[in-house]
Structure 1
Amino acid sequence: MFYENASVSERLTMPPAVAVSTVAFALTPPEDATVDPSAPAGAGQTTLWIPLVRRTRAPFLDRWALPGGPTHWNETLTDTALRTLQDAALRAPGYLEQLYSFGGVERSAQAQRLVTIAYWALFGERDLTAPAVPVSTSGAPSGGARWDDVVPPRSPRIDEGNDPSSGTDRNVAWFSADRLPDLAFDHGDIVDTALARLRSKTEYSAVAHRFLGPEFTLGQLRAVHEAVRGQAVDPANFRRQALAQGNLVDTGRCETGTRHRPARLYRFASDPALEPTTPDPSSTGSKP
C-alpha cells in the first residue's frame, strides 16, 4: 500500500520510507566531470570535492542534492549507496562507510515519515582515473512509489541538458566542500556531519592512504592534510613532522614527467586502515 492511497488512520501506523544518501570526497574532480562554474580559477587546492545532483522535480526544483535514492527490496543499504553514487559519479569509491541516520519527523517534504541512512565515501587517485562505470538501469521502484528527497535517476533526455553520446550529465557536478550551494532538504546537515567525521580522524595517514596512490611525494601527502583540514600548512614543518613519525618509507625513486625538480617518492610502512566498511551498530550514531 502506498502512502497517497492510504486512509488517515492507516497513514498513522505506516512504517517510514527508507532512503540512502552519500557524501563522497575526492581531492580533485575527475577530468571528465562537470565542475561548479562559480568556482574561481585555482580554487580547490586546499579543499575537498563532492559530487552533487541537480533535482529535476519539485520540491526544491533545480536545487543541488546528494546522490541517493530509495533502497530496493533486494538491496542492502550499502548496495543502494554504491549504486546511486556510481550513477552520479560514474565511478566506484575506494572506501565507503555508514555515517548517521537522519529521521526527523518533519524532514520529509511530504507527510510520510522518511528515514535517510547517510554514508560517506572516499575517491582515491586510482578510483578517479579508472574507466567510467555504466549507469544502472534499475531506476525507481515500480508501482508509482516515490520519496521526495530522493534524487531522480540519471536520464538520457537531451532537454534536461544531458549528452548521452559524451557520457556527461549536466545535472551532475562536483563542488568544493567549502563552497557548496544551498542544498535541498537537510542535505547540508548531512555534509557537515560527514566533514566533521572525516576531519576528526586522528590518523591522517589512513585517510591519505585512501586518497593517494601506492607511492607519493611529501607535497602530495601535504595536499591531503590541507584538504582535510581546510587550511594550508607550512611545508617545512609538515615535512619534518611527517618524516619524524616513522611511518613513511623512502622508495629511493623520484617522480617523473615534471617540469620542476623531481621530488622523492614515499610509501607507507604499513597499510593504514580506517574503520570497517560496515561499522558496528553500537558505534553508529543517529540524528533525529
Structure 2
Amino acid sequence: MRIVVTGREGQVARSLLEAAQLRKGVEVIAVGRPQLDLARPDGVAEALEASRPDLVVSAAAYTAVDQAEDEPEAAFAVNAVGAGKVAEATARLGVPIIHLSTDYVFDGTADRAYVETDPTAPCSVYGASKLAGEQAVAVYNPRHLILRTAWIYSPFGKNFVKTILRLATERDEIAVVADQWGNPTSALDIADAILCAAAMLGGEGSFSAFGTYHLAGTGETNWSGFARCILDTSKALGGPKARVRDIATADYPTRAQRPANSRLASAKFAATFGWRAPDWRKSTDIVARHIFNRS
C-alpha cells in the first residue's frame, strides 16, 4: 500500500515515515511545498496524482493558533479550502482520505470527554478553520476518516515536550497553566493508529465505517501535570530538570482562546479498528527516550 501524507515536516508526517520503515508492504511518501502547497490549491490535484496514492493522509495545516486570529484568511485558505482540495483530488483518484483535525472544534465547556456526536462550537479562528476543513472533506469525499486529536507531541518539530525540556535548561522554575485539561497524544501513536486504520481501508472495499473519530492518548491531565511528567522523565534519563509552578489561564493570556476542556473520548476508534493509545505517561517516556536517544 502506498500512503501519501501531505506536509513533509509535520509531526505526524515524520512519525508516519518512521513507522512505515517497520511495516512490510507499506510505503509512505510525504509531499509538501513547493510540490504541494495548500495555500495554492490549484496544484494540489496534480501533486497527488503524480504520487499515485492508494490512500492519502491529509496532515498539512496552518497551525499558528494565535497568529490565525490576525490572519483568518490565511488559516481558512489552508485549513478549509486547501483541505477540501485534497479531499476533492482523492475522490477523483478513487482513494480514501484520512484527515487530521483537532479538539479546538469544541468550546471546552463540557464537563466530560467529548464524543464525536457532540455539537461543535470553536472559540478561535484556528478551530473554526479546522471545522470548515472537516466539513469540506466530508462533502468532497464520502470515503473519509476525520480524526480529531489533541495536545500532539513527538521527537520532531516544535511541541510542548520539547519546549518544556528547553525551558528546563534555562530556568529553575517553569510556570504552567493548570486549568486546561486534555489528553496528551504522541504523534508516534497517531502514526501507528493511522497505519492500523489504513490496513482496513485498503482491503477489498468492504470497509464502510467512514466518518469522524476521536483519536487521543489514554488518560487525562492538565498542562502542569503534563509538564511535571516530562520533567520527571527527563530527570530519570539524566536530562534537564526544573520545578513546575501552577498558574491559571488568566495569568498567561494568549491571542486565541483555548478550550478549558480538550478531553476526547476515543472509544469509537477503539471499537472500530481494535486500536487504543497507550497511557499518555508511557508514550511520554517513549518520546523522551527518543529525544535523548536512549533505548
TM range (shorter): under 0.3
Task: Provide TM-score, normalisation by structure 2.
Answer: 0.26
Higher helix share: 2
Query: Which structure has more RCO (C-alpha within 8 Å, separation ≥ 6)?
Result: 1
Task: Provide TM-score, normalisation by structure 1.
Answer: 0.27
Higher strand share: 1
